[in-house]
Amino acid sequence: MLEKVFKLKENHTNVKTEVIAGLATFMTMAYIVQLNPNLLTNFAVGTPLWNAVFMATILSAFVGTILMGLLANKPFALAPGMGLNSYFASVVAGIAAVTGLAYEEAFGGGLAIILISGILFTVLTVLKIREKIVEAIPKSVRLGISAGIGLMLVNIGLSTNAAVYYDGGSQTMIGFFTDGASVTKAAMGSAYPTIILYIITMFVGLFAIAALNHKKVKGSILIGMVVAAVVYWIGSFILGGNPFASLSGASFVPPFKDMFDMTFLKFNFNTLFKMGFLSAIMTIISFCMVDMFDTIGTLLGTAKKANMLNEKGEMPDMNKAMLADSIATCVGSVTGTSTVTTFIESAAGVEEGGRTGLTSVITGICFLACMFLAPIAALIPAPATSAALVFVGVLMISALKEVDYTDVSASVSVVLMLIFMMVTGGIGNGIGIGLIAYSIVKICTGKAKEVSILTLVLSVLFIGKFFIAF
């Protein structure tokens, strides 16, 4: 049955490998289950709206990831996208400010915007316009996408996730290098032991994964994460804490009622007219632009790592993968969350050998289980997740070796892509700068004929988005 549906032999994999890959992907992106409702509700943990978004996050991730597995037979997982959720929260806050509505009421206006963008997405996909957009991306830009995603994974893993550095000055490990050990320790105060435990946990997990991977141990990432988690649990007990304290009194009953009361089908289209027609249109376009290129970037980047690209650098059945993505966005809006997109953390499962939709199905089932096991899933500490993200990121950066640095249009566009992805935290922003740079350099070097019409159009659209508030 599984062989017939997922074509395991054809893709040189087996059930065991796919299960391990699915678990690895889930473990690296499980954080979204709690982080997304935190961001969308301004950390109103435990409120009806928080519970509603919590359920919406799980259900949209489940449906989207299952669709990716069954419809496209690809090992990619979906969930409400980071960056897009923060943008959504700011849009809802803006709607509340303009209309005078409470944040909870304005939330329905944000959901209406997501629904419209999801439907538009779906139409573009069915008409295969998104596929044409992908084909218009130059090879050098595609290679840069994979490396850029790798850098972002490393950044996520080392920054706030593991406390090695973030916008906290001396209150992070980076302070040891900039301010001196004594100054940094004093600034950390009572948080010093915990931060050090975070850093030790992350590096133990990273080195364990690297060693196991070198020995070609299957499930190296998953095993390394478990090793890191155990280190954290032991360290927490030593410091006088109880890493399992959250299980005491925890509820394992899914808050369906809050979702139906607060967000399910709670679209407020009236707020779109109150915020202004042009403003509403620009917001919808912005969501579409960001989601489209984040998804394209993630799919191409992870597919590259899995050797799923053909000789033209294209991924077979990519339209089906993008259709799953667009439908998931619509599902997310119906249940009550921001834009659902393909996650870069899917690379963790790919690195474990995941090559078919069975990987996605396993990940989707894990998300569904979170409805009942959320307190248990929360026991995996952030620094253990960081270890996997950093390792996979390092591997993905290797795509840079294939860039033709003798071609100035390729080298300039790739370098600018990497910088802008890191600085802005958005894959779509990096792709936009890469396309603009590629087109301009080609024109300036007398090679304008090598630039496709669609590439030029996309470059102009990105110029509009960046510099004319498009």
CA distance 148 to 422: 8
Burial of residue 177 (number of CB atoms within 10 Å: 0-12, 13-18, 19+): exposed
pTM of the model: 0.72
Which amino acid is it at 392? V
The CA distance from 223 to 229, in Å, is 10
User: Residue 304 to residues 138, 332, 410, 455, 459: CA-CA distances in angstroms?
Assistant: 14, 28, 18, 21, 23
pLDDT at 129: 79
User: Which residues, including other chains, have CB under 8 Å from residue 182's CB and lie 6 or more apart?
Assistant: none
HEC per residue, the chain: CHHHHHCCCCCCCCHHHHHHHHHHHHHHHCCHHHHHHHHHCCCCCCCHHHHHHHHHHHHHHHHHHHHHHHHHCCCCCEEECCCHHHHHHHHHHHHHHHHCCCHHHHHHHHHHHHHHHHHHHHHHHHCCHHHHHHHCCCHHHHHHHHHHHHHHHHHHHHCCCCCCCCCCHHHCCCHHHHCCHHHHHHHHHHHHHHHHHHHHHHHHHHHHHHHHHHCCCCCHHHHHHHHHHHHHHHHHHHCCCCCCHHHCCCCCCCCHHHHHHHCCCCCCCHHHHHCCHHHHHHHHHHHHHHHHHHHHHHHHHHHHHCCCCCCCCCCCCHHHHHHHHHHHHHHHHHHCCCCEEECCCHHHHHHCCCCCHHHHHHHHHHHHHHHHHHHHHCCCCHHHHHHHHHHHHHHHHHHHHHCCCCCHHHHHHHHHHHHHHHHHCCHHHHHHHHHHHHHHHHHHCCCHHHCCHHHHHHHHHHHHHHHCCC
**Count of other CB atoms within 10 angstroms of residue 128:** 15
Going by C-beta distance under 8 Å and a sequence separation of 6 or more, which residues neighbour residue 181? none
Torsions phi, psi of 66, nearest 5?
-65, -45
Token pair for 160: 């706030």
Nearby residues of 391 by Cβ (< 8 Å), 6 or more positions away? 206, 209, 210, 213, 221, 224, 351
Q: How far is CA 198 from CA 175, 226, 288, 387, in A?
A: 15, 14, 37, 11
- Residue type (1 letter), 39: L
Give pLDDT, residue 7: 84
Backbone phi, then psi, for 79, in 5-degree steps? -170, 170
Q: Which residue(s) pair with 341 in the sheet?
A: 79
The answer to whether the CB of 95 falls within 8 A of the CB of 271 is yes
Residue pair 380/224 in contact (Cβ under 8 Å)? The answer is no
List residues bridging with 31 in a β-sheet. Answer: none
The mean pLDDT values, 10 residues at a time, for the chain of 470 residues are 83 90 88 82 80 93 94 91 76 82 87 89 81 73 78 75 56 64 71 82 92 82 87 91 79 86 89 72 71 74 76 76 88 92 85 90 94 73 82 82 86 90 74 88 88 84 70
Measure the CA–CA gap between 432 and 417, rounded to whole angstroms: 8
> Do residues 75 and 349 lie in contact, with contact meaning Cβ atoms separated by under 8 Å?
yes
